[in-house]
Amino acid sequence: MSTFGYYRVAAAVPRVRVADVDFNTAELIAATREAAQNGATVVVFPELSITSASCADLFFHPTLLKAAEEALSRFARETAALPIVTVVGLPVLLEDKLFNVAAVVRGGTVLGFVPKSIIPNKRESYERRQFTPGGMQGEVPLFGDFFRVPMGTDLIFEIDSDCSFGVEIGDDATAMLPPSTRLAMQGARLILNPAAGIALAGRREYNRTLLKARSGSCLAVYVHASAGVGESTQDGVCGGAAFICENGRLAEQNEPFARELSIIYADVDMQRIGAARLSESTFCENGEWPEPRRVKCGVEVQPCDLKYAYLPARPFVPAADVAEARCEEILNIQAAALAKRIECAYAKTLVIGVSGGLDSTLALLVCDRACKLLGRSNDCILALTMPGFGTTGRTYNNAVKMIQLLGCTFKEVNIKEACLLHFKDLDFDPALRTNTYENVQARERTKLLMNLANKTGGMVVGTGDLSEIALGWATYNGDHMSMYGVNCSIPKSLIRCLIEYAATKAEPALAEVLRDVNATPVSPELLPPSDDGKIDQKTEEILGPYDLHDFFLYHFVKYGAEAAKLRALALHAFAGEYPVGLVENTLRTFLRRFFTQQFKRTCVPDGPKVGTVALSPRGDWRMPTDVCGTLWMGC
């Protein structure tokens, strides 16, 4: 069994000599041993790797063809004990036709031959001169008719229930309807592509982009290995490119033009591929293709330590090289959505509560952008500070400064007196620091915002974020409610990133405030501060770190990861950052709250989706409010 659906895949570019079958086979055997020792379940070698791809008319000679068949037998024997599936290439003569095939080998057995189905008519290649496009499907004799091997483009090789793969060779990937499309639609989650194209200026980048897109459109893992510099340089040079792409992402690539063996690895999550196909695609349709032939590989998958896994601890936060563009795009989506809602609601004002915390800061910045889009002055933004029993000087001062620096209309309403009156109406002792004490404050603030919006012909802009929505960390019909929630699909970890980006574009005075907001502990500020006036009620001390909650949310909602897998992935991603006990306690909190707080999500306000994970009950996440979450609590 795999480790929570993770498999280590490899692409290898070995040393070769043109038509030196013995040398090439020895190199393939050594490389396969190395890949197996490093825990790979599957390794793919370049096209025609046993003979080399540049033998030209020597492919017509029985001497070379016989040597290639004997070399395949030797390769199978000498790798029989290795727990790995290998794809090597060779020419195969059948019914007076020559085919360029990929041989799938495991445990001393050739499991199948996949012929190249598309032979391009390229100026730099005379491949059509030697090879016939592989349209046949059947069984072919091997090793003097000692046994027969399935051959065809309809083969899907099954490692286990989570991982099956198909093969397309070289230029098959560039076809308008490549074999990988059909193979993926028929259940192959892994596509292997042995290739042998020559290097041209710009071609490596083109191929990388193409294969990333191919893996994304197929919702698959795509592994490509192309012939290296040992091929003939008579009219061109092979660059030895190797790429591993996972569902639209480049997982790993090698350095081109290596003169020694080059092997790259990636730990890829096949359960994630399966979950993505269920929730994000049109994989309910298999097209008009006949049922494929399925071949069992019989390999015992080695445990995967995730050494080569792409597992960012903060999956919602964009990578550094794209962070600026991604942040700008997200803010533009939020602002455009709010601007549209302002127009269709004929709102004269935007009413927003500004606490000096992360969420209200981002929402205020979005209001500022929306007004610019509409050509409105920021004095239509009615920004309220509503200090209560837990408000600290730090958050209050930051809120006031932001409102003033952005040119919004400032209004302050201290809610303490109104809350004390309500406590009296409820016969509640305010010395009791219960949920009633906290929720009265939250609902008093929402009442003020709603009624001010009514008075001014405006709309209340909600500030609640995706992390809070997931955990139900909001007062029902308090901060839970608004007229439009601009942060509804922005998790806490991403909000900090967006605010930091905004600070880099802001005037120095505003930038200073924004960075201090980011540095302030997250708190609802509903309980009195400590004796020194600092925040005493810290959300992450109660719930656990938001970084962990966001990690669990991403993998649970987007890919359906089970509790044990969430734990294992988090321990790997946050190794050295959070202790095991904290990870486990936070996971239990996440699962418990996620399942018990659906009633709050069922009636959330409208708001824009900006990423692939959202919890809107109108499309993104539909779950019964009274669901029993016992099955998911086994962590």
Residues 22-44 have a mean pLDDT of 97
Give residue 286's pLDDT: 55
Using a 10 angstrom Cβ sphere, with 0-12 exposed, 13-18 middle and 19 or more buried, the burial of residue 635 is: middle
Give residue 281's pLDDT: 59
- For 479-571, list the strands marked E by DSSP: 484-485
The closest alpha carbon to 469, from 615, 333, 330, 323, belongs to 615
What three-state secondary structure class fits 190? strand
Sign, CA dihedral 131-132-137-140, equals negative
Residues 384-395 have a mean pLDDT of 96
CA 309 → CA 7, 21, 274, distances in Å? 9, 35, 17
Give residue 145's pLDDT: 61
Q: Please determine, for residue 139, whether its predicted confidence score (pLDDT) is greater than 90.
A: no
More reliable by pLDDT, 118 or 113: 113
The closest alpha carbon to 265, from 273, 249, 253, 250, belongs to 253
Residue pair 578/548 in contact by the 8 Å Cβ criterion: yes
More reliable by pLDDT, 406 or 140: 406
More reliable by pLDDT, 224 or 127: 224
Residues 616-624 have a mean pLDDT of 91
Residue 542 is inside which H or E element, if any?
helix 539-543
Give residue 625's pLDDT: 93
Residue boundaries of the structural domains of the chain:
6-296, 323-632
Give residue 577's pLDDT: 96
Q: What is the dihedral of CA 212, 217, 223, 225, to 10 degrees?
A: -60
Give residue 3's pLDDT: 84
Query: pLDDT > 90: what percent of the chain?
Result: 82
Residue 438 backbone phi and psi in degrees, to 5: -75, -45
Number of Cβ within 10 Å of residue 208's Cβ equals: 16
Query: Looking only at Cα atoms, what is the longest distance across the chain?
Result: 100
* Residues 221, 212: Cα–Cα separation, whole Å: 9
The closest alpha carbon to 610, from 196, 327, 190, belongs to 327
Q: What is the pTM of this model?
A: 0.91
Using a 10 angstrom Cβ sphere, with 0-12 exposed, 13-18 middle and 19 or more buried, the burial of residue 566 is: buried
Query: pLDDT > 70: what percent of the chain?
Result: 96
Give residue 357's pLDDT: 96
- Strand bridging mode 409-412 / 459-462: unpaired
CATH superfamily entry for domain 323-632? HUPs (3.40.50.620)
- Average model confidence (pLDDT) for the chain? 93
Give residue 282's pLDDT: 64
* Residues 566, 562: Cα–Cα separation, whole Å: 6
Fill in the DSSP letter of residue 261. Answer: -
Q: Please determine, for residue 125, whether its predicted confidence score (pLDDT) is greater than 70.
A: no
Give residue 124's pLDDT: 54
Give residue 144's pLDDT: 64
Give residue 119's pLDDT: 82
The predicted-structure confidence for 429-449, as pLDDT tens digits, reads as follows 999 999 999 999 999 999 999
Would you place residue 136 in the very low, low, confident or very high pLDDT band (cuts 50, 70, 90)?
Answer: low
CATH superfamily entry for domain 6-296? Carbon-nitrogen hydrolase (3.60.110.10)
Give residue 533's pLDDT: 87
Q: Could you give the strand order of the β-sheet that contains 409-412, starting from the edge strand earlier in sequence? A: 409-412, 381-385, 350-353, 459-462, 484-485
Residue pair 152/137 in contact by the 8 Å Cβ criterion: yes
Give residue 221's pLDDT: 97
The predicted-structure confidence for 144-178, as pLDDT tens digits, reads as follows 666 789 999 999 999 999 999 999 999 888 888 88
Residues 533-555 have a mean pLDDT of 95
Q: Please determine, for residue 133, whether its predicted confidence score (pLDDT) is greater than 70.
A: yes
Give residue 285's pLDDT: 59
Q: Please determine, for residue 212, whether its predicted confidence score (pLDDT) is greater than 80.
A: yes
Q: Please determine, for residue 409, whether its predicted confidence score (pLDDT) is greater than 90.
A: yes
Residue 195 is inside which H or E element, if any?
strand 190-195
Q: Please determine, for residue 502, whether its predicted confidence score (pLDDT) is greater than 90.
A: yes
The answer to which of 20-29, 115-124, 373-382, 581-590 has the lowest mean pLDDT is 115-124
The predicted-structure confidence for 274-303, as pLDDT tens digits, reads as follows 998 887 656 655 566 778 899 999 888 888
